[in-house]
Structure 1
Amino acid sequence: MKAIRIHAYGDASQMQLEEVPVPSCGPNDVLVRVIAAGINPIDWKIRSGNVAHMIPKLLPFTSGSDAAGVVTAVGGAVTAFSPGDEVFFYAEFARGGTYADYVAVDAAQVALKPRTVSFTTAAALPIPGLAAWTALIETAQLARGMRVLIHGGAGALGSVAVQLAKAQGAHVTSTVGTADVALVQSLGADEVIDYRTQKFEQIARNMDVVLDTLGGATQEASWATLRAGGLLVATTQPPSQERAAAADARGAFVFSSPRGEVLTQLAALVDSGKLRVLVGQEFALADAAQAHRLGESGKTRGKMILRVCA
């Protein structure tokens, strides 16, 4: 089978399309023929070696952790899936390898693909969907009437978060660039702040929750938007507990783990029309390095996808 392999940490030139054996299917695994694979910022962070202290990889390795495809084999202990099932998943980083024709993944990390969308759209959901769920539903315990500020509402994570927050009955404010104001309004945001022309910290006030997907100066300015006792949930940069205390607020950092049962709930929201998944640019498997370069430039919109198998 074909796969993108990385033999040394470094820039995108380290990504090579090679022929490798089809992975073996363990007793708790399903073997999936990958139709489409998601491209996430963590992919180039792993490839570069910048997070090797947190997510060590045995070289050479295949990139990618979320995808959608068709089950071709199941392990002896697997009862929830059968060959021919259309599935989507987020595979643990210790294994991963979705930039490939086939991947073996623990069945507990897999869910049936939403019936109403394509493989491409399904592949765009697992990692950002699980991150938004972990941050808002589990960590922030968002409930009806709460006020939440979501940064980057047009991004892969932010767009899911806006819709999950609305489904919980929250009042949603989101920051976006000028070109994405109408898009995020269409996702249900109650207030949309154009960060290019407005300072969100001067507009958003008394927030119960802030979802910080950016870190840096955005995280620092976000403390001023929280009510006393409010919560800043970060997905990129761990918030300073000292800074949280100074703002009379709380801070939490979330790193979501693969869970098929959560994906099943997200699939139900998609099929019921309550969750729209935004797909950005699509690339052939052989052009994965080009996709990484574009992602690292910061000039993407929505989630990038690799088309792997027809």
Structure 2
Amino acid sequence: MKALTFQRYGKSPGIALRDVARPATKDDELLVQVHAASINPIDNMIPSGMFKPVLRFQLPAIMGSDLAGVVIEVGRKVTRFKPGDAIFASIFDLGTGAIAEFAVVPEHAAALKPANLDFVQAASIPMVALTSWQALKERANLQAGQKVFIPAGSGGIGTFAIQLAKQLGATVATTTSTGNVELVRRLGADEVVDYKKQDFEHVLHGYDAVLGTVKGDTIEKSLAILKPGGRIVSLVGPLDAAFARKKQLNVLLTFVFGLMSRKIMRLAGKQGVSYAFMFVRPDGSQLGQIGQLLADERILPVIDKVFPFDQAKEALAYLAQGRAKGKVVVQMSPDRWP
């Protein structure tokens, strides 16, 4: 089968479409014919080696983690799915990849595709949806009536997280450029800061939670807008010791991550707020609940551009430019399924 792979870590990772062996399923896995797979920023970071101590791949490795497709085989212990089912899933951090003609998906990671979404739309959902769900509901414990700041509202995470936060009953603030103000307002943002005209830390006050989606000094600046007891859940770092312990990393890495996060932890402590780094985990049960919100059209997919499979490498380069409004998707074949 064809798959987008990288050969090595570093500045020249050798990303290309190659012929690789079709994966074999274990007892608890599905073999899925992939119809579409979406690209996420971390897909450009992994080949650089940035997450090599944390994410383990056998090289050459298939890239990508979001997919939608049709089940063609099931392992003997699989009970919830059968051949012919249309599913979507995230297989992030499971040692395999999604930008391929076929992929293996553990049963626990899969959910039935909402019938009102095509495969391209469904493939755009899993990572951003699960990340938003786990960050806002589990880690920040966002409640109705609370206020959350979700920077970069027009990006892949932002466009979904804004909609989910509104479903949770929160007041949402975001940042974006002038040209995307109306987009984020349509998604539900209550307060929009045009970062080309204003600094968000001088505009926003009394927030309960921040979803860290932007690298640089945005995380530290976010401390100023939180009320005492507020929470920052960061998707972009710095990594912390609690994350290392959860991943069961060695003592040295736990120490290093503790050093990396020492400054933000100290500043957060002074403000009476908390900081935590988070990696998303695959979860088909949560994805099923998210699928119901999509089926009810309470949340809508936002897709910037769709690339054909033979331009998957170009899709990565396009996303790396940082200008996408919503998700970038790779389509393996024309949609022939409902």
Of residues 236, 241, 247, the one that matches 2:265 is 241
RMSD: 1.4
* Aligned residue type for 2:272: D
Match of 1:153 in 2: 153
- Counterpart of 1:115 in structure 2 is 115
How many residues are matched?
A: 310
Question: Kindly tell me: are residues 11 and 295 of structure 1, through their superposed partners in 2, closer, same or farther at Cα, counting changes over 3 Å?
Answer: farther
The residue type equivalent to 2:288 in the other structure is T
Q: What amino acid sits opposite 2:108 in the alignment?
A: A
- Shift of residue 171 of structure 1? 1.1
**1:7 maps to 2:7:** yes
Return the offset for 1:20: 2.0
TM-score by length of structure 2 reads 0.88
Cα distance in 2 between the residues matched to 1:296 and 1:286: 18
Q: Determine the C-alpha separation between the residues in 1 that align with 2:153 and 2:16.
A: 33
Report the identity percentage: 37
Return the offset for 1:296.
2.2
Q: Give me the whole-angstrom Cα distance separating, in 1, the residues matched to 2:4 and 2:81.
A: 27
Q: For the residues of structure 2 that align with 1:110 and 1:153, how far apart are their CA atoms?
A: 27
**Superposed CA offset, 1:250-288 (max 9, x none):** 112111100000100110001111111111111122212
Structure 2 gaps of 5+ residues are: 239-260
**Residue 139 of structure 1 aligns with which residue?**
139
| Paired position in structure 2 for 1:65 | 65
* Cα distance between partner residues in 2 of 1:96 and 1:113: 21
Q: Distance in 2 between matches of 1:175 and 1:25?
A: 43
Which amino acid is the alignment partner of residue 272 of structure 1?
Answer: D
Q: Within the alignment, does 1:275 sit opposite 2:299 as a pair?
A: yes
Distance 1:139 1:242 in 2: 20
Question: After superposition, what is the alpha-carbon deviation per residue over 1:73-113, rounded to whole angstroms, capped at 9, x for unaligned?
Answer: 10000010011101000014232221110001101000001
Q: 2-side partners of 1:8 and 1:172: how far apart?
A: 41
Separation (CA, whole Å) in 1 of partners of 2:70 and 2:11: 31
Q: How many angstroms apart in 1 are the aligned matches of 2:68 and 2:274?
A: 36
Letter in 1 for 2:316: H
Within a 5 Å distance, the mapping from 1:10-21 to structure 2 comes to: 10-11=10-11, 14-21=14-21
Which consecutive aligned stretches of 4+ in structure 1 deviate over 6 angstroms post-superposition?
Answer: none
1:134-180, Cα deviation, whole Å (9 max, x unpaired): 11011111111111111111111111111111111111111111111
**What is aligned with 2:324?**
300
Q: Are 2:199 and 1:199 equivalent residues in the alignment?
A: yes
Q: 5+ unaligned residues in a row in structure 1: which ranges?
A: none
User: 2:245 is matched with which residue?
Assistant: none
Q: Give, in angstroms, the shift of residue 27 of structure 1.
A: 0.6
Return 130-139 or 296-305, whichever deviates more.
Answer: 296-305
Q: Aligned with 1:216: secondary structure?
A: coil
1:257 is aligned to 2:281:
yes
Distance 1:303 1:123, change over 3 A: same
**Counterpart amino acid of residue 91 in structure 1:** I
**Aligned 8 A contact 1:176 1:193 in 2:** yes
Question: Cα distance, 1:11 vs. partner?
Answer: 4.7
